[in-house]
Amino acid sequence: MEDNSLETVEQVMAEAAVETVMEDLPTAAILEETTAAAYNLEPAAVIETSTATCETFPPLSLPTPLQPLFSTPNTLISPLFVLAVVIMFLSLLFVQKFSRSPLQQIGHVGPRGRKYHSWNESTTGGCGGRFIDWWIFGGSVWIRAALCLWDGMAGTHSSDGDHHQESSGENLFACFGVVGNKSDKSASGESERNDGEDKKQSENIPDHLAHAVSSTGILGFDSSLGGFGPICLAPIRASVFLIGWCSVCSFLKITYNELVDFITKLADPASVGHFQQIPSLYRDKIINVVASILYFIQDVMKVGNDLVEKKSDALGDAWLPTIAYAMAFIVVLEFGMYLIGNACMLLKIYVPMGVSHPGGARPHKIVRTPQWTEGKEHFLSQKLLSGDYSSSSSRDVNEESGVLSSKWRCAVAHDSHRDTIAKFNYIKSKDGDDVSTSLMTGEPFGRQIWTLNESQPSSDKVVSEDDMENKLKQELVPNLKEEKEEEEEKTEDNNNIFGPLSPLGDLVQNIFSFDRDNESPKEDPKQDETAKLIETIASGGRNPMAFDPSKNPNSCDQIFRAQMISSYLEKNDGKFPEDIAYLQDKGEGDEANPPKTAMEAAKRGVAFYSLLQSTDGHWAGDYGGPHFLLPGLVVSWYVMGCPSVMISPPQQALMLHYFKVHQQADGGWGTHIESPSTMFGAVICYLAARLLGAHKDEDWIKSGRDFIQKEGGAVMTSSWAKFWLCLVGCMDWKGHNSVPPEMWLLPNWFPFHPGRMWCHCRMVYLPMGYLYGSRFIYSQAETDPLIEELRNELYCEPYDSIEWDRTRHLVASMDNYSPIPTFMKFAQNCLSVYENWKIFRPFRDAIRKAGLDFCLEYMRAEDLQTNFIDIGPVNKALNMVSAFHSANNDINDPAVRSHMMRVPDYLWVAEDGMKMQGYNGSQCWDTSFAIQAVWECGLLDKFPILSAKVWAFLERTQILSTECSQSTPAYQYESCDSRDKFYRHVSKGGWPFSTSAHGWPISDCTGEGLKGVLALMDSPIVMDGVKRGILKDIEPRRLYDAVNVILTLQNEDGGWATYENNRGFGWYEELNPSEVFGDIMIDYSYVECSMASLTALADFHEKYPDHRTNEITFAIKRGAEFMKSIQRKDGSWYGSWACCFCYGCWFGIEGLIKSGESASSPAIQKCCQYLLSQQRANGGWGEDFTSCYDKDYAANGMQSYGDDGSGVVNTAWALMALSAAKCNDVEAVRKGVRYLMSRQLDCGDWPQEGIAGVFNRACGITYTAYRNVFPIWALGRCVATYGDNIDKDPCNKELE
């Protein structure tokens, strides 16, 4: 009864509600009049009753000729949609026909809505901003297309008759289709040919077109299309417009009909259901809103009515009005968008941030810090440093064996080649011939390896670097020989303690002698005064050979520096350079002798640094830091069968020492030496330590295992660590996301192509794709007891019970610097289905073979182009394993042997053990900076041998420019076809980061190398040596090649990236699979690369004003505009390759000054104020790695590893920036200079402080040379800028 009563009550209430609503419902006529008045429209036919509401909204009012354009009852697809699809299809065919590899072209780098940071801390923003930019700022693509067509039809004659030099790489204007048939005769007299091959020759674009091009649009070019880019993009964009408009129209029609039906039912008194329960007040409002929407839809659909109605009689059938409507719509919309975009930029309503803008501070700062055991000093035992070794097994070697000791020395250039050839002298060809020499290719200058062997005698055919040095001393500066003879006579008369020195190896061994049992320094009463002095000088102010990571985890390079100082003394009769000769007169306990002036400090710095110069002219040093590099090499060595020729037992022991001393108190290892423990570092370092022979029951191994299991086991590490685990058989491949090698088979024009990625990224994922596609696993994984133990140690659950597919996306929060976006996870899940579902197997197997074949061919090309060094340590190890696999696991295969011969190039020995460097060294980079520092101090001719050796080194290091380098297979890959096929930019004429044999030119390294050569041209002694044939000349054509490399590397945004033009898009970062690195997917433009390139062009232009004048001046102008565009609002620049803002500000200010910017300009003054605001109380500046990671200036400066928050390197960068800008606050500059002078050691060295370098936002790297080079440079520049005023005390007191 209760239920029936309740139903009756509800029915009565519903009926009453309906009556109320119908009484209050306004008539349709009133509704239409109100709504029409709101839109200023003529009301439709007046509706007499509310039941005829639907007649208020007749079918959409389109012109009669246009009605067939959209879906009708008789047509399923509208002609407009068909037209758009046809345009898209034809455009794609055109693209496929004319596409080329994405290397020949200025990249696609326009502003595309890159945000400071998205909510989930990914490195780029969402797609919303880029979507807006595409529509608002993309209209200019039509202007560019017209310019390209005009250039192609009108010819390419310059207004001033100046022509480009013929080059193997496309210059800045080649992207506009500007190609001619005349070569540059004005500069070199003749055009150079590359092995007889015809090369494209470029002409100057007329000035009016050049400036028009520079101001037209932001959308840019697709790098794979070259000059056809805008021509292809324009119709593609038009078809996108039309398809979008058809979709919108269809959506509007459907929405319109649904809303009409809705409002009809709402106004119908006979309506039932939920409409009956709507109160009249809300019903009125709903009807008004819906009616407004309907009228708005009618307005939208009337676009183009007038134009088409006037032409309807002449247009005929449906297809002609379709074309007319499409053209009118596109023109109006494109022009409107173009105007809107320019208005937005002019009024600064919406100015999109360029894709290369590094963005602002991260919202979530790094809060964890490294945890060290305080006060624990580690020493390399005598058995690790010197003596013989013997062991029956390379697997059971550790420090406690009591049988290992090594005489380590750093061999360079030809000495290093001879050592390697001798090490591999048993390699024989099938015919029994020695093939070791033929496997060792590439220019030897710059190579540096650590070896146990004594120096090998040079052959009669090769002049050693020592011979070159002696020749320079005897012939370049004859006075030096006379002075030397006089000093020798004095030495014979006096009982000089710096008389005959012991052999170099014995001397270094005497310097660093230790107690074998307790790893503590051993007092040696027989140690002579020379050894004591060298020990003191080489220690950099630290306890000799002590390594305490709690004080500083950066090595001081004591072993190498002791070797070089000893070598210098041997060659110079035990005498130091003049400016630090006082060291020989000091007695034990004597007070320090600080410099009186800034220039005196600079001279001491140069004098000390000259002790460290290698015989071939470069400066070597520790370039370690990352912890994840050496484990990759160890895994490669292990899966290849542990060949002792690749990693010897003494090397194993030194590597184990390195892992042991860098382990943190919590048991883990950081991603790099200053990083807090991460799962990435911990898992991979633990794996490497165990593979090298560390026993599972050792305390430090137990501690590492506890850390890993506490954090969830190895399933929680990042993808790169998981990859190495898969290779060695400690993880199933299902636990790693797919890396399909068939991606390389995509057409070059495809929006996401691996060839468009940053070269370091693609060269890592290239062998990863091959090894993943091959499902490579260590052949003995199932029977090796060590692998079985590791499977139990690395995980928190039984290995066989893990559901690997569920672990693919797992990653510890401490590793997750760049969280993988949702779309990328979706893509990875789709690829997992593709990899594992049997239905895809036939297709996958068929296409995968082709992908694997291309990967092998590409890796082979990379190996030959780099003389088996490869671009970096990660792909070096992966390429080596790939070569091993493709050779059917044959360790004696020539390619595998060539790889192993180049492994020492990456290894470095310091007081913390043996490590793998982030490159095969930073030789050219450090040397180019060093010689510019000496030049700016005005000391080139005061140190003539130093300067001459640098000239010789830079001459031999220019890529593919010497007889030796051109005799290698790498030179054959410089052809256009080879570069196109393997996605390489032009290399000839560039300078590398490390060595010529490495083969990869970089924009800033080329710029700094070129500036180093131009600086040395100001040395009369060096130029006299060139004139007399003592030094080899660097002809102008070689400098032109370098300029060509720089010009072709300029991006569309005006800036310069690293190795190549930007080829991809900002949204590539949404596909970053690494988790631990930021901004790795494409080659962005950087302030550092832009400054180095721009200033090199400016310096070159001063000495060669007639070469490619228009291009150079235009490039400099565009480069300056780019640098200003990425300056932060506070005036700073973010440094992407060092720590951090002081570094970026130096590059920013110097680049603008060299481009012609006034020192009083707002951009420069704002940066100066920023730097001054960061100066610390002691006069210095300081930052640590957190500045890079957080993208925000370190609040406490270099608190952990500096001097009261300041550091000498950061201070030097700040002073170089301020003095370049001629900062008016002289006292602030003077305080900075005093700080550098106060921190200088008595020998002229400076202490090693915190880590200086960084890459990919999240990983630090060591530059031991920076502590010498930049303080010297800063002191010299400050003296050159402020003169004696820099040494004056405002209180009229002498500087102390």
Catalytic residue ranges: 1004
* Cα 759 to Cα 1150: distance, rounded to the nearest angstrom: 28
* Cα 800 to Cα 804: distance, rounded to the nearest angstrom: 10
Structure-block tokens of residue 899:
């790889």
How deeply is 51 buried, as exposed, middle or buried, from its count of CB atoms within 10 A (0-12, 13-18, 19+)?
A: middle
Is 663:402 a contact under the CB 8 Å cutoff? no
Which of 644, 95, 751 shows the shortest CA–CA distance to 423?
644
Q: What is the DSSP letter of 1259?
A: E
β-strands 201-202, 179-180 pairing: antiparallel
Give the number of other Cβ atoms within 10 Å of residue 1294's Cβ: 8
* Cα 1193 to Cα 1144: distance, rounded to the nearest angstrom: 12
* Cα 1016 to Cα 1011: distance, rounded to the nearest angstrom: 9
SS3 label, residue 808: coil
Give the number of other Cβ atoms within 10 Å of residue 289's Cβ: 13
Distances in Å between the Cα of 623 and the Cα atoms of 628, 926, 993 are: 14, 11, 12
SS3 label, residue 72: strand
Instruction: Give the side-chain half-sphere CA count within 13 A for 467.
Output: 11
Structure-block tokens of residue 493:
């008369």
| CB contact set of 1249 (below 8 Å; sequence gap of 6+) | 552, 554, 1198, 1201, 1202, 1203, 1207, 1208, 1209, 1267
Taking the C-alpha atoms of 36, 40, 42 and 44 in order, what is their torsion angle to the nearest 10 degrees?
-20
Is 855:875 a contact under the CB 8 Å cutoff? no
Which of 1245, 828, 820 shows the shortest CA–CA distance to 1072?
820
* 738-750 as b/e: b if 16+ CB within 10 A: bbbbbbbeeebbb
- Measure CA of the first residue to CA of the last residue in the chain; give whole Å: 107
Is 104:226 a contact under the CB 8 Å cutoff? yes
* Cα 1242 to Cα 231: distance, rounded to the nearest angstrom: 66
Which of 296, 291, 238, 242 shows the shortest CA–CA distance to 266?
291
* Cα 362 to Cα 367: distance, rounded to the nearest angstrom: 12
* Cα 1154 to Cα 1: distance, rounded to the nearest angstrom: 96
Cis peptide before 175 (omega within 30 of 0): no
* Cα 1116 to Cα 1124: distance, rounded to the nearest angstrom: 13
* Cα 968 to Cα 959: distance, rounded to the nearest angstrom: 11
Structure-block tokens of residue 275:
């409409």
* Cα 1197 to Cα 1186: distance, rounded to the nearest angstrom: 9
* Cα 763 to Cα 984: distance, rounded to the nearest angstrom: 11
Rg (CA), the chain: 35
* Cα 1052 to Cα 846: distance, rounded to the nearest angstrom: 39
SS3 label, residue 1255: strand
Is 1255:1197 a contact under the CB 8 Å cutoff? no
Is 878:771 a contact under the CB 8 Å cutoff? yes
* Cα 1135 to Cα 1139: distance, rounded to the nearest angstrom: 7
**Rounded to a whole number, what is the largest CA-CA distance in the chain?**
133
